[in-house]
Amino acid sequence: MLYLHIPYCHHKCTYCGFYSVAGRRDYSEYVDAICSEIRLRGDGRRLRTIYFGGGTPSLLSPLQLRKITGTIAECFDVSGIEEVTLEANPENLTPEYVALLAEMRFFNRLSIGIQSFSDSELHLLNRVHNANQATDAIHNASEAGFNNISVDLIFGLPHQSVGKWLDNLDILASHKDFGSIKHLSCYELTLEPGSILERQLQMGRLSMAGDEVLEAQYSQLLDWCMRNGFEQYEISNFCRPGFHSRHNSRYWNRTPYIGVGAGAHSFNGTRRRWNKPDIAAYVKGASIGEIPFDEELLSDKDAFNEYIMTSLRTVRGIHKPVIDSEFSSFSTGLAKQIQSFIRKGMIVETKDYYIPTAAGLLHADGIASELFVI
């Protein structure tokens, strides 16, 4: 698994808590730095998935993307690659851009940050694109041959009624290229520390959606997915059968991965490492072969808690054989602690799994924190 972080954006969305730098710039130095890091860390290992995330990776030109993908192919074995995703924003997906992407024959999945099909909601989120561009982006990508498209939408927006949320989903379902959309990520709007949204709330300009609206919107989402052939496989992720995100699913299975780029995280099974989120330091470091990073050795407790947190957000749940083989010292405690959630109907126990029910998924983070080893 390889993750590449492209920490640039046209401008900041109000809710953004990711590491990214806004404004027009020349990305060539950064592209060179990423290629240097790939050469430094590429060890010829066989990659199954690659993910270009950000930020806004679609701000890079096809030529710059070609330079990066060429370097990946030199430094890793990509002969068995299953999935290569590019995160893209709608305003970048012009017919010319997607045609050049398709010509590269490297990316086989596009994840488009639509967020909403309503101009007023997009304005509230301070997105660059408008509703027409959102619709066109899906069409352009599909026309160019991308038939494995993922769409991101956000619910729980201030002033967004349950009906307005459902309108977004219905616009998606009525899109002429709906068949090319194989995956849907729907996130509840959350308040990120330091975001513009947080300041707007503090100034009393907005208020967040209440629990009742959120629960109704989420329940509409589950219902819509069922009616439209999308199955849920994680709290926020839905797909047509067989089209789950291979890359993200492997994070949840504790598969080791390499992350390159400023702010990117890596995991080797025992250690977590993160490049410093500082583009200037990253570019400088890459030029002398010394990428600035920090790392930590995960304690058994940390690894166990992370596993509980991520697995309870998936419909598969906690895999008992993983607990027995990797966290055996916590297995008896977990079996005891989890009983109260089984009694409340939030978890179902089978021979091999502790599976969250629909109610359990809704409260996955709260349940996980009760099961943590401190």
Span near ligand SF4 by CB under 6 A; candidates 8-16, 183-191, 196-204, 229-237: 8-16
Over its C-alpha atoms, the chain yields an Rg (Å, rounded) of 21
Which span (49-57, 227-235, 329-337, 356-364) binds ligand SF4, by CB under 6 A?
49-57
User: Would you say 9 or 84 has its CB closer to ligand SF4?
Assistant: 9
- Using CB under 6 A as the binding rule, whether residue 186 contacts ligand SF4 is answered as no
What are the CA-CA distances from residue 304 to residues 237, 260, 324, 327 (Å)? Answer: 23, 25, 11, 7
Q: How far is the CB of 20 from ligand SF4 (least distance, A)?
A: 4
Please choose, out of 7-15, 201-209, 284-292, 364-372, the segment that lies near ligand SF4 by the rule CB under 6 A.
7-15
Smallest separation (angstroms) from ligand SF4 to the CB of 281: 20
| Binding status of residue 12 toward ligand SF4 by CB under 6 A | yes
Residue whose token pair is 């060539």: 28
> In the set 2, 4, 16, 68, which binds ligand SF4 (CB under 6 A)?
16
The DSSP symbol for 178 reads G
Q: Within 10 A of 337 (CB to CB), how many other CB atoms are there?
A: 15
Kindly state the smallest distance separating residue 87's Cβ from ligand SF4, in Å: 8
Q: Which is nearer to ligand SF4, 87 or 234 (CB)?
A: 87
N-to-C CA span, the chain = 30
For strand 2-6 and strand 49-54, is the pairing parallel, antiparallel, or unpaired? parallel
Q: Binder to ligand SF4 among 3, 4, 20, 314 (CB under 6 A)?
A: 20
Nearest distance in Å: CB 265, ligand SF4:
15
Q: Where are the alpha helices (DSSP H) in the chain?
A: 28-41, 62-75, 95-104, 119-125, 131-143, 162-173, 196-202, 211-227, 246-252, 279-287, 300-311, 320-326, 328-337, 339-343, 358-362, 364-371
Q: Which of 2, 4, 6, 13 binds ligand SF4 (CB under 6 A)?
A: 13
Q: By CB under 6 A, how many residues form the interface with ligand SF4?
A: 11
Q: How far apart are CA 319 and CA 253, in angstroms?
A: 10
CA atoms within 13 A on the CB side of 302: 8
Cis peptide before 55 (omega within 30 of 0): yes
Grouping H, G, I as helix, E, B as strand and the rest as coil, residue 99 is helix
Nearest to ligand SF4 of 36, 89 (CB atom): 89
Contact code string over 53-92 relative to ligand SF4, x by CB under 6 A:
-xxx--------------------------------x---
CB 37 within 8 A of CB 287: no
For ligand SF4, the binding residue among 3, 18, 165, 267 (CB under 6 A) is 18
Single out the segment in contact with ligand SF4 by CB under 6 A; choices: 5-13, 40-48, 184-192, 208-216.
5-13
Cβ of residue 248: shortest distance to ligand SF4, in angstroms?
A: 16
Sign of the CA dihedral with 13 first, then 179, 100, and 131 last: negative
**Span 303-322, contacts to ligand SF4 by CB under 6 A:** none
Name the one residue in this structure whose structure tokens are 């290992």: 45
For CA atoms 34, 257, 235, 199, the dihedral sign is negative
Q: Which of residues 106-135 bind ligand SF4 (CB under 6 A)?
A: 113
Cis check: omega of the bond before 242, within 30 degrees of 0: no
- Single out the residue of 2, 4, 9, 368 in contact with ligand SF4 (rule: CB under 6 A): 9
- Binding site residues, ligand SF4, CB under 6 A: 9, 12-13, 16, 18, 20, 54-56, 89, 113
